Amino acid sequence: MNDPSTQSRIAIVDLADDLQVRKQRIFKVLRRLGIRPTQRREPSRGNQNVATVSPSEALAIRAEIAKPSEPPGAQGGSPRGASAVFYSDDVGFFYLIQLEPEHDPGRFKVGFTMDLEGRLQKHRCSAPFAKYLHTWPCRRAWERAAIDCATKDCGQLHTEVFRADQLEHVAARSQSFFAMMPGLEGESGDNRNDMESEKSDATG
């Protein structure tokens, strides 16, 4: 019999995806608030253990992340810390996902995320065979322009879901867009670092 209190808990990966911040930042907030996550097995993620928080803890995390960060050099603030907070929210990835590689190879989704692994798992709830074709380091502010560029001449099926005859052309247009933008290699971080943070915080 399932424990209702466990069922109502919120996975850190889902909370991070909803807030569009890195899991690493969520775990930093957990430490600051003195919250210890609880492990729960997730059938949708191959029955893996994931770190979770209660709904009330999630509200506290949301409130903490919603607080405006002090600009570098502000009284009482650390320039280094303030810069890290801004950077964490602003830089992530623009992705090109093929939703149905076998049955509908031209249907794809593009968008911005802070967490590649979590976003793909979320899409696989409705499209189990979805896979990344390409990802690019991206600033949040570039998302709309990148989507418009990538999906030129494509049929729109839903919000950020399109169909194209050749996904190679979508990838090429995206590549051309990011080639014109300032380089962000290294700034977007590595999602494996987020997973290591999750392990270490969840196990204490």
Q: Which helix (H) or strand (E) holds 111?
A: strand 104-113
Please give the C-alpha separations between residue 145 and each of 106, 151, 185, in angstroms, as whole numbers.
21, 10, 19
Q: What number is the average pLDDT over the span 105-133?
A: 91
Higher pLDDT, 126 or 78: 126
Give per-residue pLDDT as tens, 89-115. Answer: 578 899 999 999 999 999 999 999 888
pLDDT higher than 60, residue 73: no
The predicted pLDDT at position 50 comes to 84
Q: What is the pTM (predicted TM-score) of this model?
A: 0.61
Structure tokens given for 77: 């603030």
Q: Which amino acid is at 175?
A: Q
Residue 165: C-alpha distances to residues 83, 104, 152, 155 (Å) = 42, 10, 12, 10
d(CA 40, CA 27): 16
